[in-house]
Amino acid sequence: MSQSGAHSSALPTGYDAARGASADGDDLEVADPADVDPGDAPPEGSDIEVRADPVSDAPVGYAVFETAIGPCGIAWGPGGITGVQLPEDTADEVRETLVVAQPGAVEAQPPDAVRATVERIRALLAGDSRDDLADVELDMSGLTPFLRRTYAITRTITPGHTLTYGQIAERLGSPGLARAVGRAMGANPFPIIVPCHRVLGADGSIGGFSAHGGALTKRRMLLAEGVPESEGPALFGTEQLYPGGADSV
């Protein structure tokens, strides 16, 4: 694990929130579809706000760590994990991106719970585990209700399996919200733990991905988890990964 910043004794050393609950104790289990209000979703064509309100004023720590797909990052606070950074080209780029996403965060030695999560993420990305990370505590206290519900459903997708944006919308009880689900995946502050890489287009296409390497990185993550290449050309064909053809890379 790469650590270059000063350590702060003011940083939290553990979590206050229980699994599946926000810092204020709200239950985050998947709601009955009848309880999901489509009005929570942003209007078509609008931007998704990741958080409705700041998580808290408590200090946030972050760490950068190496994985099989490149340097990643993780941030934490008193209520659990506050963010995960997908791989960038360099560790310094991960730091820069994390600090923008987590204002005021300080690089520090992670507490035991975070360190254990890092090791589980490493094993998953290396293809050495089928850990669904479902018990990792996330601080969703500032998320909108629509995002909380969408991410709760996404966390039920286990390694080696996928869902489409439309299928998640159906589980929300609102099949017409597929595009809003797609935007929610793009705004996901907890990638890997909230496995947006396991969410595909309606035709099984791999779609875009915000990590360094884009769709190729998403493909590597899915293969490491056991999604078979026999899923078909829509998912693993070069026409999806390299629009100009494999020779254009």
Q: Among residues 166, 183, 185, which one has the least CA distance to residue 174?
A: 166
Q: Clarify whether 196 is annotated catalytic.
A: yes
Q: Are 127 and 151 in contact (CB under 8 A)?
A: no
Give me the helix-helix angle, 112-125 and 215-224, nearest 10°. 90
Q: Among residues 87, 162, 98, 163, which one has the least CA distance to residue 125?
A: 87
How far is Cα of residue 176 from the mean position of the Cα atoms in its chain?
23
Half-sphere exposure of 184 (CA within 13 A, CB side): 30
Q: How far apart are CA 178 and CA 176, in angstroms?
A: 6
Q: How far apart are CA 201 and CA 191, in angstroms?
A: 17
Q: How far apart are CA 155 and CA 239, in angstroms?
A: 29
Q: Are 59 and 121 in contact (CB under 8 A)?
A: no
Catalytic residue of the set 23, 105, 138, 196: 196
Catalytic positions, written as ranges: 196
